[in-house]
Structure 1
Amino acid sequence: MSFTPLVALKSKTGEFDSLRHLDEGENAAPRVIVELLDSVQPEGRGVIRSLVDAAVELAVRGRPAWVDPHLLTSAGGLAQCAGGPFEHLDNRIENALQDRCGLFTPDVPALVPVVPASATDTQLRAIALLQEHRPREVVVRFRDLGTDRLADRLGHIAHLTRLGDQAMHAVIDLGHVETVHPRQVEAARSLARALTDHLGPASTTLLAGSVPHTRLGYATTVRDRVEVRLWSEVAAGVGGAVIHYGDYGVVHPHPPAVSGGDARLPNPYFVYTVPGNAITLRRQLDREGGKVAEGAAVEAFSDIADELVARQEFAGSGYSWGDRELAGCRRGGDRTAGSVPRWIALATSHHIAHLTRRAPGEL
């Protein structure tokens, strides 16, 4: 099986915008897990429109989005949709796909559902309803690294989701990691070996992320991407099977708590992925009386772009849409970036190109 990286995205417009500007190459699209948040409202255009557009782009490339609703609360709009979030999104993405492609609509499902390894029977039967509409693969996400009764669990999931001849993929999710712990490596190896034995040709992916939850200081830093070393050690211990690499892009694995208070513009920042590391650049905005002068964020980000493009690690303006836009954001350029979604879009675009363009040993 060919190596295919995976990126878990948090239902933010910036991340979705990056997917609308993927390269045209045959392998330019990674696998993508879309983690649904309550901010994705079924009505209106907002985030859900960006989500649908991104999912259509992935489906056109033959790689439907893997959709995970585990972060939704019962109070969220998607959770309250008739038929549930899977059915609602499946219909919307499928309709948008047909509108775009017409007679040339690709023969793929609109989305691939992600379920936890501990899914309830009710959750699994919801997937079976999707299968009645159109057979599709299923992704099982493991946060518990135990292997007890693994075969029984997988068999139960396959039966209740009416998986049939479709593949079952596995994602071993380690969440946020700061160091490589030998015990964690061995536990993940053990589960990966067991999963590859049971799932055969379907994919098994190790997912982790090391982006800090907060950004401290304003000096440019180079941080070790621990998730790459962790994946490398786990994959090396699973002989004869491909263990795919997965990460959380350029954001922390856990979404920030929603607060109704402070909506002020953050200090401009950028996370730039390079082999084995991530460069973080940040600028401080002057706030007189709590207010930021108009255009200050754009000017500060231009300063970030000037510094990053001048560094030897910069991949070049032709490397990705994000790199091209970044180069245009320098002083005197024809682009600007003054908001968090824009910064995230450019960084995620470069990150995806980094993962899909490089050989496994160069991540």
Structure 2
Amino acid sequence: MPISIQLKLSNPADFQLMSRGETHYVAALQTKPGELLALQQACAETWAGLTPILEVLGPRSPGSQPFSRARVNGWIGRLAKAVGTHPIYLDRLRLAPDHPAESPGGPIPVLAAIHAAARRRQIVFVPVLHLGDATATQRQVAESAAVDGRGLALRVPLLDTAVAGGRSFPSLIQETLNAVEVEVVGADLLMDLRQLPDDAEVRVDDLASMVDALVSIGQWRNVVLLGTAMPMSLGGGVVDAGTIGRRRRTEWLVWLALRRSRVSRVPIYGDYAIQNPDPPLDAADGQIPLGMRAAIRYTHETVTIIPRAKAPRHEEGREQYRQLCKLLVEQPEFAGREFSWGDREVADCADGTCEPGWEDHWRGAGTSHHLRFVVNQLAGLA
């Protein structure tokens, strides 16, 4: 049954997040400290070509009690500090949208609490709805779309197209848009490949056919293709300890091939920056295994350069990151100290003018470089 909501007078189709069209960039980022710091330090030129998807990362063990107002406000306060007035997509990760959260009027779904907190902070956001979300979640996203007048984004798992009940994939998408009473011209389509395994061959013609089928639903406001080749872990032979690995940026190469194909509408390029779609292990939760080794991920044209420490993290501590920085600045691909905040951190750590941080800091430095690099890379195609 459609959800009856009084829409705001503004037209969602007129709200634009992508100032550079096909050569704009969408990065799916978790609300981890490093990624938020990278956004906070991003220069105006980077923001001009970037629209991030911010995934509010919930706790690994949420329990059954409502999230406190202070906790939700803390999540959104840190996010607001990072993005300022820049428009974003607002999503969630490892967070059940119907988990209760405190409010002055009693418990409400945490997704509704997140949207309300973001609104109070004057964050310019487009809410993200996942294909297959429950009716209650659809209602929460529909309410935000109605209140703010910016439409919504529908996130679709592109390689998982099995649909129950004999319905086609496009028909399920249209049913979802009908349920939230948002027309396709006021919606963004986020097609998500997630991780592309090393042994998976993506046939560009087949991918183009899938994109064409979803684009044919109507005149989407924006169409985005997300993906990454970055695995969850660098162990197991992905990058040997004590070496400098180079991982192919398969998601970038696939998008370039799709751009050259006969696809009816070239999607905007999107990725997961330097991380896997799933949350990383967290030292604060005691999840870091003793054998874990430090690494820094550094984006270049078609590869990610990854210097990885020889000894385990617990033996050498933060100092091993200084050695990795020294290795990185010696590589011909190093863009120089002035390229981004992340590059300055690498250079300063290498020459001893600052102390090395832990994982979150270097996650932020690598993300900072990546965002600037990809925005420049796309601008070069215009």
**TM-score bin, normalised by smaller chain:** 0.7 to 0.9
Partner of 1:302: 322
Q: Contact 1:28–1:353 (CA<8 Å) still a contact in 2?
A: no
- Letter of the structure 2 residue corresponding to residue 253 of structure 1: P
Partner of 2:248: 224
2 CA distance for matches of 1:76 and 1:328? 43
1:307-332 per-residue CA deviation (whole Å, 9 max, x = no partner) reads 21122111111111111121111133
Unaligned residue ranges in structure 2 (runs of 5+): 1-20, 236-240
Partner of 2:193: 174
User: Are residue 242 (structure 1) and residue 256 (structure 2) matched?
Assistant: no
Partner of 1:21: 41
Tell me by how many angstroms 1:31 deviates: 2.0
User: Are residue 277 (structure 1) and residue 312 (structure 2) matched?
Assistant: no
Q: Once structures 1 and 2 are overlaid, which stretch shifts more, 153-162 or 309-318?
A: 153-162
SS in 2 for 1:178: coil
What pairs up with 1:43-62 in 2 under 5 angstroms?
43=68, 49=74, 51-55=76-80, 57-58=82-83, 60-61=85-86
2:112 to 87, 90, 97: 87
Summarize the Cα distance change of 1:116–1:171 in structure 2 as closer, same or farther, 3 Å threshold.
same
Partner of 2:177: 158
Summarize the Cα distance change of 1:229–1:48 in structure 2 as closer, same or farther, 3 Å threshold.
farther
Partner of 1:323: 343
1 CA distance for matches of 2:282 and 2:336? 36
- Letter of the structure 2 residue corresponding to residue 23 of structure 1: C
- Letter of the structure 1 residue corresponding to residue 153 of structure 2: V
SS in 1 for 2:37: helix
1 CA distance for matches of 2:118 and 2:209? 37
1 CA distance for matches of 2:101 and 2:28? 19
Summarize the Cα distance change of 1:190–1:240 in structure 2 as closer, same or farther, 3 Å threshold.
closer
2 CA distance for matches of 1:27 and 1:75? 32
TM-score under structure 2 length normalisation: 0.77
1:240-283 per-residue CA deviation (whole Å, 9 max, x = no partner) reads 52311111111122225779655568432100000010000122
- Letter of the structure 2 residue corresponding to residue 243 of structure 1: P
1:144-200 per-residue CA deviation (whole Å, 9 max, x = no partner) reads 444963453333222322325862111221121134855653443122112333342
User: Are residue 332 (structure 1) and residue 352 (structure 2) matched?
Assistant: yes
Partner of 1:130: 144
Tell me by how many angstroms 1:214 deviates: 1.8
Summarize the Cα distance change of 1:3–1:167 in structure 2 as closer, same or farther, 3 Å threshold.
farther
Tell me by how many angstroms 1:17 deviates: 1.2
TM-score under structure 1 length normalisation: 0.81
Tell me by how many angstroms 1:67 deviates: 2.3
Partner of 1:101: none
- Letter of the structure 1 residue corresponding to residue 361 of structure 2: R
- Letter of the structure 1 residue corresponding to residue 26 of structure 2: L
- Letter of the structure 2 residue corresponding to residue 324 of structure 1: R
Identity percentage over the alignment? Answer: 21
Q: Contact 1:3–1:242 (CA<8 Å) still a contact in 2?
A: no
SS in 1 for 2:253: helix
Summarize the Cα distance change of 1:82–1:190 in structure 2 as closer, same or farther, 3 Å threshold.
farther
SS in 2 for 1:136: coil
Q: Contact 1:210–1:226 (CA<8 Å) still a contact in 2?
A: yes
Alignment root-mean-square deviation, CA: 3.4
Tell me by how many angstroms 1:60 deviates: 1.1
1 CA distance for matches of 2:69 and 2:331? 42
Q: Contact 2:126–2:145 (CA<8 Å) still a contact in 1?
A: no
Q: Contact 1:329–1:336 (CA<8 Å) still a contact in 2?
A: yes
1 CA distance for matches of 2:182 and 2:83? 22
2 CA distance for matches of 1:358 and 1:183? 22
Summarize the Cα distance change of 1:28–1:110 in structure 2 as closer, same or farther, 3 Å threshold.
closer
Q: Contact 1:67–1:111 (CA<8 Å) still a contact in 2?
A: yes
- Letter of the structure 2 residue corresponding to residue 208 of structure 1: G
Partner of 2:331: 311
Q: Contact 1:55–1:111 (CA<8 Å) still a contact in 2?
A: no
Summarize the Cα distance change of 1:184–1:215 in structure 2 as closer, same or farther, 3 Å threshold.
same
- Letter of the structure 2 residue corresponding to residue 215 of structure 1: L
Report the count of equivalent residues. Answer: 343
Tell me by how many angstroms 1:360 deviates: 6.4
Tell me by how many angstroms 1:55 deviates: 4.1
User: Are residue 67 (structure 1) and residue 90 (structure 2) matched?
Assistant: yes
1:142 to 156, 174, 177: 156
Q: Contact 1:178–1:226 (CA<8 Å) still a contact in 2?
A: no
2 CA distance for matches of 1:157 and 1:198? 12
